[in-house]
Amino acid sequence: MDAARLFLWEALSLTVMVLPYFALGVLLAGFLDVYGKGGAYRLRLRADGLGAVALATLAGALIPACSCGIVPLVTALIAGGVPLAPAIAFLVSGPSINPAVLSMTAGALGVEIAAARLVCTLALSMGAGTLTMVMLRRGWLRLERDLRPVERICPCAWAATPSTRGAARFALAWLRAGEFFVGLAPYLAAGIVLGAAIAAATTPQWVARHLTGPAAVPFAALAGAPLYICTCAEIPITAPLMAQGMNPAAIVTFLLAGPGVSLFSFVLLASLFRVRLLLFYAGMFLAGSIALGFLAGPFLVR
């Protein structure tokens, strides 16, 4: 298969894999924006403290959000008044752990790896939210400079009010989902093109050669960047590498960093984060994944 056909095949495969999760993400975002405003999630997460960060971490661990659908959900949370710190905590934990992911991880990679993934993801999410909160309070991050405004796309003035009920509220939720889809679609398309090009240029053998040596842990964190790893897709990628002797610490690092630091995810995040915040998020995610991988390694059976 020549390069052009391989690229087109990868782009088509990636679109088929990603689009259903992305559509589900924007649909949930639309309903969350319309039905959730003024609800329990807003009242608790708007506290902007460690309690809100912990709640967002747990919410992300329970909601089956994919790495391609998490950005619309986070956009809806911020549009609903949720501060940046718990929103980032949710962004970290959402695509990395949920009951389905943990079940698949335990079945394919072992209970020890699944337990390490759970503990490390919770720690990474809490750490990311807490660090973001500190950075904001000290003025090192500023929302007006580092966060893109979450604006309405539709020129109409529809908005949910206490008097909006029944079919009108339901229709408005679908409208908001459509707005999220239109706003994020260009970033989705750019991510698919980028992901297809990278997938066509890399091979599993190339990745395997760099995940078994002494520098396996930092390389495992960076390996997630050129790959698009949809939630749960990292497990079948990791299984054969584990069978070939991949370092257990590198396995945990790859499972942590893979769904969060791919270039595909960063293209989507560019719709919400400006460059400074995007680089801060990337550095925090990579450094945290590497540190937690090294810390988990000695506890894993070799």
pLDDT reported for residue 158: 47
pLDDT reported for residue 126: 95
Does an H or E element contain 221, and which?
Answer: helix 216-223
Give the highest mean pLDDT range of 62-71, 109-118, 142-151, 196-205. 109-118
CA distances for 17 relative to 174, 192, 229, angstroms? 23, 10, 10
Share of the chain above pLDDT 70, in %: 70
- The residues facing 147 across adjacent strands are 273
pLDDT band for 59, please (50, 70, 90 cuts): confident
User: What is the mean pLDDT of the segment spanning 1-23?
Assistant: 76
| Crossing angle of the two packed helices 84-93 and 111-137, in degrees rounded to 10 | 160
- Condensed to tens digits (0 to 9), the pLDDT of residues 190-212 reads 667 766 776 677 666 666 666 66
Alpha-carbon span 260 to 82, nearest angstrom:
21
Q: What is the pTM of this model?
A: 0.74
From its phi and psi, is residue 3 left (phi > 0), alpha (psi between -120 and 50) or beta?
alpha
Cβ within 8 Å of residue 10, ≥6 positions away: 195, 196, 197, 199, 200
pLDDT at 236 over 70: no
* CB contact at 8 A, 266 and 290: no
